[in-house]
Amino acid sequence: MPLRFFSRRTRSVPEGSVTDGSLPVRKGRRRVLRFFAILMLVLLGLVVVSTAANVLLERVERANAIPYGERVRIDQGTINVSISGDSGPMLVLLSGLGTAAPGLDFAPLVRALPGYRTVVVEGFGYGYSDTDVRPRTIENIAEELHSVLSALGIHGPYALAGHSIGGFTTLYYANKYPAEVSAVIGIDPTVPTATTARPGAPAPADAPPSGNFWERLPSTLGLVRWAAALGLLDPDGSGYTPSEITQMRMLTSWNFGNAAVTDETSRVGENAAKLQGLSYPSRIPVLMLLSQDTLNSRPEWVDLHERQLTQVTRHELVVLDGPHYLHWTQAKAMAEKIDEFLAPVAGSTDSMTAQRGGVVRAEALRLSGLRPAG
């Protein structure tokens, strides 16, 4: 029998063909690329849908929203103001940087101060106030605050309270309009130090407001709205009504990264540099309510505030357990201390102690301990 019948039959392989298994590898790569391409298309579709839904929902909200407070027209634009109480000492409240709805954010503290006439001024970029305005220099911010209060017929004396970066405004304002300020209350206020001024190059005071495309993008895409809807941005504590929470979520989406807040953020260094070395007028009593959480992360926090108050005849520092936004969880303790500090105490032993200053540390709603200021 011919040998060819016993030989193994083989396929002819063209010269130059690949036979090392790379064909399955190429197919695998194509599958991976196809998967990522589909994934990117799906993500792009979700972004488009989220953006469109956000735009539509915001239009509906703006058309149907019932603003709280009253809008006050001044030369530079319209500012929203929330006023509570018909009588009693006047207390003007200023929010921290980026607080979406100050009129609602301060609600627990306002409710804890029924004997006062409280005025929450929502500066440009906050709450229902205008957002496209002039540069957010400390001079402009203070002038606008004075214009709003004057338009409301509030000429002093009034106590001025500022949370966080609002401490910049209370410091500058008390020095520019000392005859109108009866007392200053700091709510874990920012101190203008070299550390505050370092981040980024200070924006020139005469420069136009900075652009805010990237800062605004998370809100434009609807990401801030969905995060707020899930409660991820809600304040701590149980001091807010469901209606207040709903409005705060809505305004967080509206105001996140707006032009005014973005420009104010970019000018923190510039404004801090202007205020470094400035102290409160000696005759104006100053109460500082400081956060234990902030003190835990910044051990020098108390000393920074004490140095700022060395020239003040009557001052006091109180440390409360809680986050930087003390009024979220410590409204009652704050109200008790504010009421105590602002009440007439002249002639008593306690008054003499208060005039020397001091640091009071409080746990929950119980105030205890007193350490003379150094």
The average confidence (pLDDT) of the chain is 86
Q: How far apart are CA 275 and CA 273, in angstroms?
A: 5
Q: How confident is the model over 96-111, as a mean pLDDT?
A: 98
pLDDT at 348 over 60: no
Q: How confident is the model over 277-301, as a mean pLDDT?
A: 96
Q: Is residue 199 part of a domain?
A: yes
Q: How far apart are CA 63 and CA 67, in angstroms?
A: 11
Q: Is residue 45 part of a domain?
A: no
Tell the residue number behind the tokens 């002819």, with chain if given: 12
Bridge partners of 161?
93, 185
- pLDDT, residue 345, reads 33
pLDDT at 264 over 80: yes
Token output for 18 = 């690949």
- pLDDT, residue 233, reads 96
Q: Is residue 4 part of a domain?
A: no
With beta carbons less than 8 A apart as the criterion, state whether 90 and 159 touch: yes
Q: Between 23 and 56, whose confidence is greater?
A: 56
Q: Is residue 56 part of a domain?
A: no
pLDDT at 347 over 90: no
CATH number of the structural domain spanning residue 116: 3.40.50.1820
**Confidence label for 186 from pLDDT (cuts 50, 70 and 90):** very high
pLDDT at 316 over 90: yes
Q: How confident is the model over 154-168, as a mean pLDDT?
A: 96
**3-state secondary structure at position 320:** strand
Please give the model's pTM, rounded to 2 decimal places.
Answer: 0.83
Percentage of the chain modeled with pLDDT above 70:
80
Q: How many C-beta atoms lie closer than 10 Å to residue 211's C-beta?
A: 12
- pLDDT, residue 64, reads 95
Q: Is residue 30 part of a domain?
A: no
pLDDT at 364 over 50: no
How many alpha carbons fall within 13 Å on the CB side of residue 242? 0
Q: How confident is the model over 200-218, as a mean pLDDT?
A: 72
Q: Is residue 341 part of a domain?
A: yes
- pLDDT, residue 352, reads 35
pLDDT at 68 over 90: yes
Domain that holds residue 296: 71-212+258-371
**Region of poorest pLDDT, from 46-50, 80-84, 94-98, 109-113:** 46-50
Q: Is residue 222 part of a domain?
A: no
Q: Is residue 243 part of a domain?
A: no
What's the number of domains the chain is made of?
Answer: 1
- pLDDT, residue 311, reads 92
**Confidence label for 208 from pLDDT (cuts 50, 70 and 90):** low
